[in-house]
Structure 1
Amino acid sequence: MSEWNIVRFEEISDFKYGKMPKKEKLNKGKYPVFTGYRIAGYYPEFMYEEPQLVVIARGVGGTGNVVISPSYSYVTNLSIVALLDKSKCDLEYLYYYFQNNSLRYLDSGSVQSQITIQNLKNLELPLPEFPIQKKIAYLLKSFDNKIENNRKINETLEAMAQAVFKSWFVDFEPTRAKIAALEAGGSEDDATLAAMTAISGKDKAALELMRTSSPDTYEELKSTANLFPSSFQESELGQIPEGWEVKTVGNAVDTISETYPLKTVSDVIFLNTGDILNGRFLHSNKSDASNLPGQAKKSIREGDILYSEIRPQNKRFAFVCFDGSEHVVSTKLMVLRSTTDISSLFIYFVLTQQSVIDYLQMMAESRSGTFPQITFDVLSKVNYVGPADNQLIYIFTKNIVEPFYRNFISQDKEIQTLTQTRDALLPKLLSGEIDVSALTKAGSEG
């Protein structure tokens, strides 16, 4: 660090304020309108072809954050664009520098948060030689790439499981396949084969190969197909498979409010509504048990569903697949626990269907109050359709969802480890405590 130059930000960058897009042009083009917070629409023209370093200069909750804009973007007046001299500084190095050295202290603190170009110009920045910048950015970016790759794997795994759930219990595709085969003059065996195709995605030739090469797997698939009816019946929700029932979430789970014994522990992992997102737990950090907010009250255990009462569309929900004894959760998180032999993991899939989320959001917005909120009474009335004996639900949970969740949790744990390692390395790399001069990589000198 002692050998690094200290430069003023204006020595390595020009600055420009973003521009307010014209309302009549918004969402009439293909280029992302980037506020600094998010992509807010699309525009027929762009301001910057390449990604740029962007300082959020206005707005609630993000003023002072530094981000990188998308390619071919139109940057709005909520942000300032730093037009870097790329012969002197690396975009990603500066991005990581500002992740470790927040600019939030520059916020004027007035009623309307604001940072100006003048605030940025005289900032003093430690700047190592350009190859060192590239190497530091490369190391940190390698962690972020792996984290992003794991997240994409999890998204794919979840999408696959959700697709099977929708096929079996919402669209009833195996039953429809059976009906279509029978209506075409086929036999019961033809109907079963059609359902096997709907379940597995394999055509007749692939199923025949499975029958000869993996007979046990074939017979298991056939047994599952036989559990689907070959006709429909009328219900209050429309046509559903013959012999199936319309059920409610409240008949399968109940809301639990067991108080966590905070006085018996010195520290604990506190989960608020913002600490879970679409199945993921966003941290595992322990806090002083004597210094927690008043809403830190509820105990949880393995198999519980956590579902935020506030704004269902934000997808603040998760399934507890760990012991839970070291966790206390907010009173704004419903803790749902199974009361029957139906796995709560199945109910989790019911409640995380987009159609259900949309319904709950509508109900939340119809309620008078400070913000859109639901109660267990509303959630308990959510309908789902299933067979009377629950055998198919058991097969879905054991053979499809549980293996998916094991992989999901494995990937998520690796994400947490990678994130913690990256965050530990970040200040050491940016202070020069870790010497990267000997690091070699393709393009590190470019």
Structure 2
Amino acid sequence: MPEPGPSPLQSGLPGAAARFGAHVLGSAQVHASGGLPGLPAGPGLPFPSPSAAPPAPQTTAAPPAPSPALRRLLSGPSGLGTVGLHPARREAHPVPAAAQEPGAPESGAPAAGNPVPGLYHHPVPEPDPVRVEEVSRRIKAWAVDEVDLFPEDWEKQFDGFQVGRYMVACHPDAPTVEHLMVATRLMVAENAVDDCYCEDHGGSPIGLGGRLLMAHTAIDPLHTTKEYEPAWAASLQSDAPRRAYSSAMEYFLAQASPSQADRYRHDMARLHLGYLAEAAWSQTEYVPEVWEYLAMRQFNNFRPCPTITDTVGGYELPADLHAQAAMQRVIALAGNATTIVNDLYSYTKELAASGRHMNLPVVIADREGISDQEGYLKAVEVHNDLMHAFEAEAAALAAACPVPSVLRFLRGVAVWVDGNHYWHQTNTYRYSLPDFW
């Protein structure tokens, strides 16, 4: 294979300055590493050091076209961006242990599972078992001892979720276990709200708006009078979802900057709006058009998880760069693709549940008048189109704005996308594939 040639990551900086503003790029250089060492370069991809001075301006401001090497960089952890992302990570891949029984504590490697045939994805190495074990231990202690999250008879389901393995796979550049715990607590809290308010464990569309609004005040606090504030504060301890949101947010605020916290609140409001749309359709027994369903899923999706990848990585993508339309499109496409992954892997689980559960294969089959199998296979195509769009847009943005924090954030989102697929594929306690092949 020929050498990819000089990396485009530095030569486009003047073009980025013209496009995004010198003051934004100056701020990005200051905050690029968050005090962490620079990321290692990959073959043919010399990565600009966060501490290095920006290159001298060139005579042209035209951004370079994305190279194949850059596309490989952004496609996820099949190359640069795996265990070598941070000096604290081990250089060799951990040796897999024997598979454990479903629902058992998260030690050792999971059963491999099978990827959805034809699904576009990137394989990832097994997550560091030492970190998996420690995150799993800490998250269960938090759930049981700090927030009293679930009754004893839900314990097997909590263990079967395997959230420690999930988060370690999605955030290989986290500098410490405590950084990983920030994401893990928020993930568990979000699932508690979904289960207890919306779905599996007593959830209902009836009255959901009021419950979600009260829970959201654990993330975006109420500012009211001294007379009424104590009642609100007491309400944050009134049920497991609010206790989890409140505690997880407190830990998150200890690591996040004010702009990162505000970004997360915004994305959680998006999530809750998506919950409400799905609940409204459930109450009225409305099957949305496919495009309507995809619009709902852009809100009711995983977006709050990859959007905090910089907080978990111990650095910050400056607010001005995060707010750019191109970055917002990349994040949205990543969230949409990962959520369709959930629709595909949870398909048989949802069909086995009581009532009719809407997911993309079901909606496509119903609205387009095709078989269940054809609806499922078309949903795979939709996912693949979203993934290709995500990678193309991320590569174009990286070439146009090669600021270290932008490049690291884009890489972190790509790694999160791949780690999310890995968890769905390998979590055979929760998921199995339909017999469509």
Answer 1 or 2: which has greater helix percent.
2
- Answer yes or no: same fold by TM over 0.5: no
Classify the TM-score, shorter chain: under 0.3
Greater RCO, CA 8 A, separation 6+: 2
Answer 1 or 2: which has greater strand percent.
1
